[in-house]
Amino acid sequence: MRSRGFWVGFALAFPLLFASCQDRDVVEPHGPAATVLTSGTNYYVSPSGSDANPCTSSQPCFTMQRVSQLLTPGDVAHFASSTYSWGSQIVHTSGTASAHVTYVSDQRRGAKIVSSDCPIIGNDGNYVDITGFDMTVVQGSTCGNGIVQEGDSGRVVSNRVHNLPATDPSSTGGIIVTYKTGNQVIGNVVDSIGPFGSTNTVHGIYLGAPGNSVMNNIVTRAAAACIQTYDRATHEIISNNVVANCGKYGIQISADPSVATHDSTTVDNNIVVNVNGPGIYESTFGSIGTHNVYYNNIVYNNSPNISLVNGTQSGTITLTAAQFSALFLNYTGDMTGDYHLQGGAVAIDAGTTSCAVGVSNCVPLTDFDGFTRPQGRAWDIGAYEVIVSANSYYVAPNGKDANPCSLAFPCYTMQGVSLKMNPGDTAHFAAGNYTWSYATNQVTKSGTASAFITYISDTKWGAMVTGTDCSPISNDGDYVQIINFDVTGSCAQGITTNGNYTTIMGNRVHDMPGSQLTAAIVQDCCTYNHTGNRIIGNVVDNIGPWGQVNQTHGIYLGGPGNIAENNIVTRAAAACIQTYHGATREIISNNVVANCGKYGIQISADPSVYPIDSTTVDNNIVVNVNGYGIWESTSGAIGHHNVYYNNILYNDSTTVNLLVLSPYATASGNDTLTTAEFSALFVHYTGDMLGDYHLQSGAVAIDAGTTTCAAVILSPCVPSIDFDGVVRPQGAAWDIGAYEWH
């Protein structure tokens, strides 16, 4: 099943990849700029900088022109977010084919240029990339030239050029490529360039030289043509653009008869609508060859829709009014629209990969948002590809939830990315610091039994979450996985799952001093009927005021039929592992529990719900608890079929028994260590998350475990792997604790 893509953006991990000759509005982008790959030196520019500075991160300079004087091939000039009031910035430094010079707004469209002169940016260096800027001119300006690219083999990527009056007679357009070849104009937004419909010479994007590419752009409200070729233009590629509400022409193909014949150009997979003149037009005033091709373009409400002199067209789709209404998410005819495709739009899977003769690469491999093309049977038409499940989405500390959650344009919150996800999708979280709250980060999307939704920190504990209140990670969906996060904050509740069949795995939840009646990891709050959840391989440490409260725990199971295995839980205020409310038929196996404030593992249930029964507590290590080691609470409702097999206990409070059970419980194989045996148990015991709880060679826990479960529990009731992912057993039997010795 294909779902729509989201938001405006374009990912370009240089170099841009194209398919071998083959295929979404514009909501304001807030994401990072395109990915920049470099082996050179990084320089920095800021609105608060000075051109007397050395352009370092601590001493940034102020203008593009100044930083350009320092750049050599492979170098990157990083522009901080905010507004730059500049005159025209003309830069000359060249890169090489393998080491471009790059000017990049580190936050996409975050560097906002308001120019007092024209062009806003002019470059005559070769192999130069201009990426991620927002630009316009001061009020009263007559300028109509945004970015002028006068070098070879450059890239103009993911910029927004808008609101240029262009009343100066020298004005040409928003993005201009003049006289040079091999340039790529990719994933830009160009809007409101010149006096609409009243001139023939002011355009959105202009190509005046051979062998250039225009792809994945959204161009609206240009005075004359939204995309124009002339002068020496020939052998161009114009593919997968959205062109709308143009003053005179949508895409006009032409060349100056005195210098060139325009030939062998590919115009594929574009959407051209509501033009105040021809939609796609081979100009009768230019010199036109016989090998230009126009394949699989969508046209609507142009006058006429397509008019060719010598070109070959095929697969053109002329929309009905109903089809146009079902095309975009939110058509406005300007840069405020949302030009992602609606589900079922005729543009989906309707594109082509065919090029002009002799051209081998003519459509992009990614869309405006950076998602791979194609997602279905064929390329989609337009700037956006409708996304196929399952997909990978991306979240980063410098992301924005308005972004498409692609690798180049990540989101910021789990909630934000969840809105884009479907069963089978994975959200990848980059390493770094995140500050989240319950209200802004709660997720509700569900997967299915065969296609979980997964939220994962790609570096274990690298995505570091600080909660501003309780439950900065909170899930209400079924079939969801939350993996590898580091969570801290002032409230004692870090991760909560209120779904069924979820997995909370590999997380580290720690240093949460609050005394709330909760736990660091909570399964089921507060209906107490959710089942099938697994709390596996987590580290939980320093939760609540140690030993001072009865209801602030490490891990809490509140519903029936849930699992806690391979966890390391230390320094919880009350119980390191607690069951209550609707808990019954639980599995608590192969955990390390140490230095708990009042209880190691406390088994209980709310008498008003039902007794906890048929619960398995196997192969756990419970040591140095300031109270009961393993305890069936006398304050709860306890059934007759709970079992406690092959657990290790040591130095739990001397004032109470190590293993205190109801008269109906079954206990077997439990071992109380001597001091010498405890000393030989762990590689490095500290009683907190800094310890190393692997087993020493010869430890009594090796091969001392069991696989026996409570009577009504189908096996297995012990994990098949350990905390590290090592297969169990490695010897004659399961080892006790979170790690298998090998």
pLDDT value of residue 388: 60
d(CA 194, CA 189): 15
Nearest to 467 by CA among 410, 420, 507: 507
323 pLDDT higher than 60: yes
- State the sign of the Cα–Cα–Cα–Cα dihedral 355, 360, 366, 368: negative
Please write the tens of the pLDDT for every residue from 345-363.
Answer: 999 999 999 999 999 889 9
690 pLDDT higher than 80: yes
Q: Across residues 666-676, what is the average pLDDT?
A: 94
580 pLDDT higher than 70: yes
CA dihedral 497, 503, 504, 507 (to 10 degrees): -150
Q: How far is C-alpha 407 from the geometric centre of its chain's CA atoms? A: 6
Q: Across residues 41-51, what is the average pLDDT?
A: 96
Please write the tens of the pLDDT for every residue from 121-152.
Answer: 999 999 999 999 999 999 989 888 999 999 99
657 pLDDT higher than 70: no
What are the tokens at 558? 């509140």
Residues in the chain, overall count: 742
pLDDT value of residue 1: 36
pLDDT value of residue 714: 64
Residue 412 binned pLDDT confidence (cut-offs 50, 70, 90):
very high
Return the higher-pLDDT residue of 114 and 342. 114
633 pLDDT higher than 70: yes
End-to-end CA distance of the chain, in Å?
44
Residue 658 binned pLDDT confidence (cut-offs 50, 70, 90):
low
pLDDT value of residue 35: 39
> Residue 717: is the preceding peptide bond cis (ω within 30°)?
no
**626: three-class secondary structure by DSSP:** coil
Residue spans of beta strands (DSSP E) within 232-274:
237-239, 242-244, 249-253, 266-268, 271-273
2-15+32-364, superfamily in CATH? Single-stranded right-handed beta-helix, Pectin lyase-like (2.160.20.10)
420 pLDDT higher than 50: yes
pLDDT value of residue 169: 75
pLDDT value of residue 654: 46
Residue 16 binned pLDDT confidence (cut-offs 50, 70, 90):
very low
Backbone angles phi, psi at 590, to 5 degrees: 60, 40
Question: Amino acid letter at 566?
Answer: N
20 pLDDT higher than 50: no
Nearest to 531 by CA among 457, 478, 460, 473: 478
Would you list the domain boundaries of the chain?
2-15+32-364, 389-489, 505-742
Q: How many CB atoms lie within 10 A of CB 234?
A: 26
d(CA 710, CA 519): 26
CA dihedral 371, 373, 376, 379 (to 10 degrees): 130
In the sheet that holds 568-572, the strands lie side by side as 432-436, 463-467, 486-489, 508-512, 539-543, 568-572, 592-594, 621-623, 648-650, 671-672
Q: Does residue 58 contact residue 82 with C-beta atoms inside 8 Å?
A: no
Q: Which of 353-367, 610-624, 707-721 has the lowest mean pLDDT?
A: 707-721
In the sheet that holds 76-79, the strands lie side by side as 42-45, 76-79, 101-105, 128-131, 155-157, 184-186, 213-215, 237-239, 266-268, 293-295, 312-314
Q: How far is C-alpha 125 from the geometric centre of its chain's CA atoms? A: 34
Residue spans of beta strands (DSSP E) within 351-391:
361-364, 387-388
pLDDT value of residue 29: 30
Specify which residues 214 forms β-bridges with: 185, 238
Q: Which of 20-34, 128-142, 204-218, 312-326 has the lowest mean pLDDT?
A: 20-34
Rounded to two decimals, the pTM is 0.58
**Average pLDDT taken over every residue of the chain:** 90
Residue 171 binned pLDDT confidence (cut-offs 50, 70, 90):
confident
Please write the tens of the pLDDT for every residue from 181-219.
Answer: 999 999 999 999 999 988 888 999 999 999 999 999 999
Residue 434 binned pLDDT confidence (cut-offs 50, 70, 90):
very high
- State the sign of the Cα–Cα–Cα–Cα dihedral 489, 491, 492, 496: negative
pLDDT value of residue 453: 94
Please write the tens of the pLDDT for every residue from 534-568.
Answer: 999 999 999 999 989 889 999 999 999 999 999 99
CB-count burial class (<10 Å; 0-12, 13-18, 19+) for 725: exposed
Residue spans of beta strands (DSSP E) within 490-627:
495-497, 503-505, 508-512, 518-523, 534-536, 539-543, 552-557, 563-565, 568-572, 575-579, 587-589, 592-594, 599-603, 616-618, 621-623
pLDDT value of residue 484: 96
24 pLDDT higher than 70: no
Backbone angles phi, psi at 676, to 5 degrees: -65, -40
DSSP string, 140-161: T------EEE-SSS-EEES-EE
pLDDT value of residue 39: 56
Q: Is 432 left (phi over 0), alpha (psi -120 to 50) or beta?
A: left
pLDDT value of residue 37: 41
Return the higher-pLDDT residue of 334 and 19. 334
pLDDT value of residue 543: 97
Share of the chain above pLDDT 70, in %: 93
Question: Amino acid letter at 12?
Answer: L
| Cα radius of gyration rounded to whole Å, the chain | 32
**416: three-class secondary structure by DSSP:** helix
d(CA 581, CA 579): 7
Question: Amino acid letter at 154?
Answer: G
pLDDT value of residue 473: 97
DSSP string, 51-83: TTS---SSS-BS-HHHHHTT--TT-EEEE-SEE
23 pLDDT higher than 70: no
Share of the chain above pLDDT 90, in %: 79
pLDDT value of residue 285: 87
263 pLDDT higher than 60: yes
Secondary element (H or E) of residue 103: strand 101-105
